[in-house]
Amino acid sequence: MRRTKHYRLAAAVLLAAAMSLTACSAGSSGGSEAKSAGKTSLTVALTGPPTNLDFTRTAGAAIPQALMSNVYEGLVKIDQDGRIQPSLAESWTLSDDRKTYTFKLHPGVTFSNGEAFTADDVKFSLERVKTGWVSSLKTKMDVVDSIDVLSDSEVEVKLSRPSNAWLFDMGTPVGAMFDPSGVQDLANKPVGTGPFTVESWKPGEAIAMTARDKYWGQAPKVKTLTLRYFADATATTNALRSGDVDVVYNMQAPELLPTFESDKSFQILDGTSNGKVELTMNNKVAPFNDVRVRRAVMYAIDRKAVLDTAWSGHGTLVGAPVPPTDPYYEDLNGVYPHDPGKAKALLKEAGAENLKITFTVPTRPYATAVSQIVVSELADVGIDATIETAEFPAVWLDKVFTKHDYQMSVILAVESRDLLTAFNNPNYYIGYDNSKIKDLAQTADAADEAGYVEGMKKVVRTITDDAAVDVLFLFPNLIVAKADVTGLPKNSVTEALDLTAAGWK
């Protein structure tokens, strides 16, 4: 009897002690002073490991994040400002009817299995998107009519209609170039033209890459590159402090940054990403099938306060589902200023006072953080939102994304240039009535570059005017790294994490 009592007392005291101890221990150990001279390896910490290495058959951003640019390359690539740059194609021309692209390929390019990269591989790779891919991204190649090999180094792609979006997509994973003899085991052995090859892959743990000897372009700065996967943001920053990793990419906990800001042995890069934190309202279901109620929500939410509280002020306010790296971006923050009075008036006009709604929140840190401030601000204008948590990804994808069984939700949409995927499709889970933008979008895609930008801006303004979605803020691309690491890509413009220029001072 006595003994158990003492145990229990001891346990309770220990618990209390442990709680206060953990509170003090984090952030006390210093960063390691790296001797960077002559370093030839770089280790990057990431969260969310890939399930295999084949992005042609498996959805999710983790695989292209690791492999695009590093192992695979496309004819073109997207630079840090979202512009299209030559890659495997030295140059290209566009016919007058804007439907035929002629690419001139870079000479002397080889795959990591030794095969030469030729126009035949371009034809093979692009046709394989339609026949061999099982990802939803494959629709991006639907516009391709035919591919003709003109010579070993020249290839002609005919589109069924002019498309500005297509060339950009060629710089994303769907444009990756494969060798016909190298696609047997993509899930384990990727074969690409990039500067690195996958040396080893431990599922759920790490991908190790080594630099190729015979790379056609600028050789990478490091010989070995390791991507290590961690359970959460705290684990990644702990690994950085203990010197196990050199870089934490796309850090998911901005609250942890202050402890690094004051430390000279670390650097912080705060770039932009494509990640739009969207407060989605089911446009087809009451009460959000009424544009006045949706507008009321837009006026009710103080997006600056959301950004400051939920994400410690890191991120960008955009006011529309378009990141600044898209050509048709414009600052639309002024359309719906924070105005609870106007929100209440709109709700009254719509006959939707004392509204009760269900707010389905996926179990992700950003979503939980955002949901509580949103609920508080909705309460201020008389909308009583009850939070219902949905396990992410399985339950959320099934309930909200697939079955459209929700009123309000919040999600981070990471796909690049997904404006039309999300809004030019009434069967998408947001359920936006696209009748007003359908023709605008079609005309814009077929127009010349200036016309494209102008047309797409009109599309964005229409969507914003209809309050189809409340884009709370643009996710930051936070990178914490040892101070002497250079060449890291600050912005995340496509899915790729391009480490070909990363190295040491």
Integer Cα distance of 432 and 435 in angstroms: 9
- Tell me which of 203, 258, 351, 393 binds another protein, using CB under 8 A: 258
Nearest to 504 by CA among 223, 290, 259: 223
Residue 372 vs 486, nearer CB to another protein:
372
H-helix or E-strand containing 421? helix 419-423
Instruction: Between 2 and 35, name the residue whose CB sits nearer to another protein.
Output: 2
With contacts defined by CB under 8 A, name the span among 12-20, 198-206, 216-224, 471-479 that binds another protein: 12-20
Using CB under 8 A as the binding rule, the residues of this chain from 327 to 356 that contact another protein are none
The structure tokens listed for 300 are 């009710």
- One-letter amino acid of 333: N
112, 40 Cβ separation under 8 angstroms? no
Distance CA 445, CA 385 (A): 39
Query: What's the full length of the chain, in residues?
Result: 505
Nearer to another protein, 8 or 505 (CB): 8
Angle at 419 between CA 414 and CA 423, to 5 degrees: 115
Report if residue 176 touches another protein, rule: CB under 8 A: no
Residue closer to another protein by CB (options 390, 430) is: 390
Which residues, 6+ apart, have CB-to-CB distance to 301 below 8 Å? 279, 338, 374, 377, 378, 470, 472
Binding positions for another protein, 178-237, rule CB under 8 A: 233-234
Least distance CB 18 / another protein (angstroms): 9
Least distance to another protein from the beta carbon of 403, Å? 15
Please name the residue that has the structure tokens 């070995």: 224
Output 23 or 450, the one with its CB closest to another protein: 23
Residue 410's closest CA among 480, 450, 357, 333? 357
Q: Specify the DSSP class assigned to residue 400.
A: I
Pick the stretch among 131-139, 248-256, 442-450, 479-487 that binds another protein (CB under 8 A): 248-256
Residue partners of 314: CB distance under 8 A and separation at least 6: 254, 257, 270, 307, 476, 478
Distance in angstroms between the alpha carbons of the first and the last residue of the chain: 65
Distance CA 99, CA 182 (A): 31
The number of residues that bind another protein (CB under 8 A) is 45
- Alpha helices (H) in 69-198, listed in sequence order: 119-131, 164-169
What sign has the CA pseudo-torsion 231, 232, 233, 235? negative
- Contact, 411 vs 367, CB < 8 A? yes
CA separation for the pair 99, 370 (Å, rounded): 44
Q: Which of 16, 134, 231, 286 binds another protein (CB under 8 A)?
A: 16
Helix, strand and coil content of the chain, in percent to the nearest 5, comes to 30, 25, 45
Give CA–CA dist 430/426, Å, rounded: 8
Q: Which stretch binds another protein (CB under 8 A): 11-19, 132-140, 204-212, 443-451?
A: 11-19
Contact with another protein (CB under 8 A) among 310, 408, 419, 496 = 310
256 binds another protein (CB under 8 A): yes
Q: Give least dist CB 504 to another protein, A.
A: 27
Query: Can you read off the two tokens belonging to residue 310?
Result: 């939920």
Of 176 and 257, nearer to another protein (C-beta) is 257
Q: Should residue 308 be labelled a site residue for another protein when binding is judged by CB under 8 A? A: yes
Measure CA 303 to chain center.
20
CB of 48 to another protein, least distance (A): 17
Minimum distance of another protein from residue 16's CB (angstroms):
4
Q: Is 131 or 262 the residue whose CB approaches another protein more closely?
A: 262
Q: Does 264 bind another protein (CB under 8 A)?
A: no
Is-contact 66 197, C-beta < 8 A?
no
Site string for another protein, 354-393 (x = CB under 8 A): -------x-x----xx-xxx-xxx-x-------xxxxx--
Min dist CB 13 to another protein, Å, is 8
Q: Tell the smallest beta-carbon distance from residue 47 to another protein (Å).
A: 14
Q: From CA 200, how far away is CA 464, in angstroms rounded?
A: 47
H or E element in which residue 481 lies: strand 469-482
Nearer to another protein, 10 or 134 (CB): 10
Nearer to another protein, 65 or 360 (CB): 360
Q: Whole-number minimum distance, CB 17 to another protein, in Å? A: 9
Q: Measured from the CB of residue 359, what is the shortest distance to another protein in angstroms?
A: 10
Q: How far is the CB of 490 from another protein (least distance, A)?
A: 23
Q: Using the rule CB under 8 A, is 1 a contact of another protein?
A: yes
- Whole-number minimum distance, CB 15 to another protein, in Å? 5
How near is the Cβ of 19 to another protein at its closest, in Å? 3
Residues of this chain that interact with another protein (CB under 8 A) are 1-2, 5, 8-9, 12-13, 15-16, 19-20, 22-24, 26-27, 233-234, 253, 255-256, 258-259, 302, 305, 308-310, 312, 361, 363, 368-369, 371-373, 375-377, 379, 387-391
